[in-house]
Amino acid sequence: MIIDGHSYCFPPLGEANGFPTVQEHLRYLQREMADHHQPVWRLRDWAVGDNSLLAEPQDKTLQGLKEVNFRSGGYGRFVWTVEGEEYAKQYLPPYLTDLSHPPEMLIAQMDYIGIDRAVLHAHPIFGFLNDYLADCVQRYPNRLFALASIPEWKIEHDSQGIVNEIQRAYSKGLNGLQFSVHNRYRYSVTESWDAPACRPFWDGVTALGKPIFFTICAPCPGSTVEDYLSQLRIWQGWLTRYPNVSAVLTHGFPWRLFLSDHGLHLPDALFEPFRTSSAKLQLLFQISLGNVWDYPYTQLHPTIVQLVETLGSDRLMWGTDMPNVERFCNYRQNLETFRTHCQGVISDQDINNIIGGTAAQLFNLGDSQ
């Protein structure tokens, strides 16, 4: 069984998508685009621009945004206007004409290359889509899992209300929670996400018994390795407090922080939370490094070997970030990076675990399902 452990379905991104208003969603999108590494260009002549057109470089919160009529430009891009000139950033592949990725499109893509199931992740970039994703799962129960999302910046102020929303989402068929640490910093919350005031929330959500997928990053772009490790230490404390909860670190590590002349250099400190827990690690390389190296990404082989030897392949999960990853490589290439090009690098059993076995175990799927 092949399972894409990290993909997305979403309605058009120019809509509210669970935010109170369309404008609030667009403001969040503008904040994310202001820190994203995809290039900026001027539509008139393709002249190179930069992210400072969208926000003050030193202010990583929503307060730092500039008024530029940020909007959906269709065909996978966002556009905005500065001094009468239109600029763009290609965040999604151009075939997403209205910046939507419905489940029918994802399943057609899965069918084409032979992927059995996919796990739909959640992020405010796409909106708060618990009901939308529940509908996806209800319509395609043998193909899709999905994760719930919440406003992470509110957990200490409305812990029971947010736990109730997660429980409601689970009752409609969602299969776990995605918790994105950096969303709190977007809304100027500097208190740790595992501070004592957050404990009622965590006690409530862990009692629901579903996996929790953590998206953990340093507080803001430009942060150091030590900034990231400080967040991992918080997560390690959380894992110690809730040892019986199935936890997954999404995306893997922030791979760009660990680039070296010869590939990736992963310090031992990254693995500390895994040594004291049963947490799993997602392997999403191309979405981060797809514009650094080219297919078949053989530069990754030493890192993949290191991860298998350090953690074991039964704790590693392949994922793609579809459809976003098709900025750099197509769906088949993403799968073949492991299924074909890791043959002889790691064992066949390790490959099978990574591209589906670990995820199947996490969601209690038998071999025949």
* Tens-digit pLDDT profile for residues 237-248: 999 999 999 999
Rounded CA-CA distance 218/320 in Å is 22
d(CA 188, CA 185): 5
Out of 86-90, 105-109, 259-263, least confident range = 259-263
Domains of the chain in sequence order:
3-11+100-362 (3.20.20.140), 22-90 (no CATH)
- The answer to which of 141-145, 180-184, 219-223 has the lowest mean pLDDT is 219-223
Across 113-117, 254-258, 300-304, least confident range: 254-258
Residue where the block lists tokens 């670990």: 358
Across 23-32, 44-53, 56-65, least confident range: 56-65
**CA nearest neighbour of 282 among 212, 181, 213:** 213
Torsion of CA 286, 152, 358, 340, to 10 degrees: -10
pLDDT, tens only, 308-340: 999 999 999 999 999 999 999 999 999 999 999
Amino acid 182: pLDDT: 87
**Percentage of residues in the chain having pLDDT higher than 90:** 92
Binning pLDDT at 50, 70 and 90, where does residue 369 land? very low
- Cβ burial, residue 204 (10 Å; 0-12/13-18/19+): middle
For 199, counting Cβ atoms within 10 Å of its Cβ (0-12 exposed, 13-18 middle, 19+ buried), the class is middle
Do residues 231 and 216 lie in contact, with contact meaning Cβ atoms separated by under 8 Å? yes
- Over the stretch 124-139, which tens digit does the pLDDT of each residue have? 999 999 999 999 999 9
CA 222 to chain centre: 19
Q: Side-chain half-sphere of 349: how many Cα atoms within 13 Å?
A: 5
Give dist(CA 189, CA 180) in Å, integer. 13
Q: What is the pLDDT of residue 185?
A: 86
pTM of the model: 0.95
Task: Find out whether 178 and 122 touch, Cβ atoms under 8 Å.
Answer: yes
Helices 159-171, 130-139: axis angle to 10 degrees equals 20
pLDDT tens digit string along 136-178? 999 999 999 999 999 999 999 999 999 999 999 999 999 999 9
